[in-house]
Structure 1
Amino acid sequence: MSAAGMLVTHHSSLALGTALLTLVPLAQGVRLMATYRHQYAAAEPKPTDALMDELLSADLRRAADRALQRLGITLDELELRSRDVDPLARGGSRRLADQGRGAIAVFGPTPHAVGRIGLDRKWRFATYRIMVICPTGHHLGIYQCDLDLATGRRYRERTDEYHYDDVVAIRTTTTAAPDLTIGVLDASALHRMWLRGTLYRQLQIIVSSGDRSSIIVGITDEDERGNNIPLQESGIDAVIEAVRRTLRTKKGGIVPST
């Protein structure tokens, strides 16, 4: 082969190698762009506040039905129903967790939950903890689970059944949680902010063995004491009072609240 031919071949090999080296990052870039577009499309449009409430309400109904099934309780056996918690529907609005003739359901965010501040300034979360309270003629049944709002999947299911004499307290307590962080999206769902050092208000049902069932029902910013962060209304105070009344009747006395 002539020197000229060898030179042409050499330059062609260099060009091919350069082209291949260029195509590799280009292909990677195309894949990254495709992934980004897929994730962006999946995230848009953002669900409205009303849609998130509708989904949560439906999931609460399913959880209440699931609780009866897991506990082996029928509707007729319930001595306190959801509609008995606030029969006058204070303010003319029903609780989001209202189940009518069904069991009493309360809900709150799971620890580490990621959520969004709605246009109504209320916080809505991607994962919730649900507690279903089922007082019967002979015992108190409690069902708990965590809910993935995006899929409707329930996990970490747990059931407890207590004789009324074993229930020693139903109370709310405020607990500092400096090691927990809640990621919150603003109303536009574009900017993320983080709250650290929050105070959690928890509903606790405590039995004589020391076991307790608990759920987060309120969040306060520790840096600004008294600044309650508005959550979706579950009517927790009315629920606590109604359950206490039932326990007093069953136990023939006073159920401690602290």
Structure 2
Amino acid sequence: LSLRAVNSSRSAFASFLFAPLFFQLYEPGSAGPDAQLFRCKVHMKSFLGVFRSLPSLDKSVGKCLILLKPRASRLVLQLQCKYGVTKTHNLAFQECERLQAVFDTQRCASRLCAPARVLAEAVVHFPPTLAEVTLGTGPGGKISLRNYVEDEAELSKRMVTELWLAEDEFQSVAVAPGSHITFCLREFRGLLSFAEASNLPLTIHFDEPGRPVIFTLDDTVLEVHLVLATLSDLESSSQSPSTNG
């Protein structure tokens, strides 16, 4: 089962791929080598509305049943709660083509891997209203996170928060010296929350400014990709373009 989404500006793409073993029960609608994959799209707000107030759902819901009914054009989400209560949500959907971003992590020049907790504790120092954050590399394998300031001349007039993480806080570091990228912090925070809850390390693949940054989570039953656009850099505009993105 795969869940994919892209934002309205097409600057962010997310993909969650669940193996059959992720579920207590998985029954594909069609089987056999000639069976075609079924794809559909639902309204994001309607889908997320079913799972709002997660702390309450964790306490009251025992199971979640997901049913696809192609003939009725309905996605049925059934929450089986305590005391025999069942909540059923029927969401309309439309058939669609495959949604897929074009990227290749193998072509990225830099790669970082760290426990999600390390990165989550780092970004908590930035205000919730901050839009972008800059990730950079320094001497000795150190990694920095700094709030993005569009006009460097304004640095003396604005508060700048910068954190440095030592190389030993990461599981692996293979980065190009002096590289840096700036990306949206909101989507990054969302993925960190999921990674922490799943207890999975987060891998960051990136290249030069203006090329997409790719965040990945890998497990035996789950594969996650988040692709974010990065801000271009005037200094890199004269360099030869990267092969990724």
Could you say whether these structures have the same fold, taking a TM-score greater than 0.5 normalized by the shorter chain as the test? no
Greater CA radius of gyration, 1 or 2?
A: 1
The structure in which a higher percent of residues are helix is: 1
Greater relative contact order: 1 or 2 (C-alpha under 8 angstroms, separation 6 or more)? 2
What TM-score do the two structures reach when normalised by structure 2?
0.23
What TM-score do the two structures reach when normalised by structure 1?
0.22
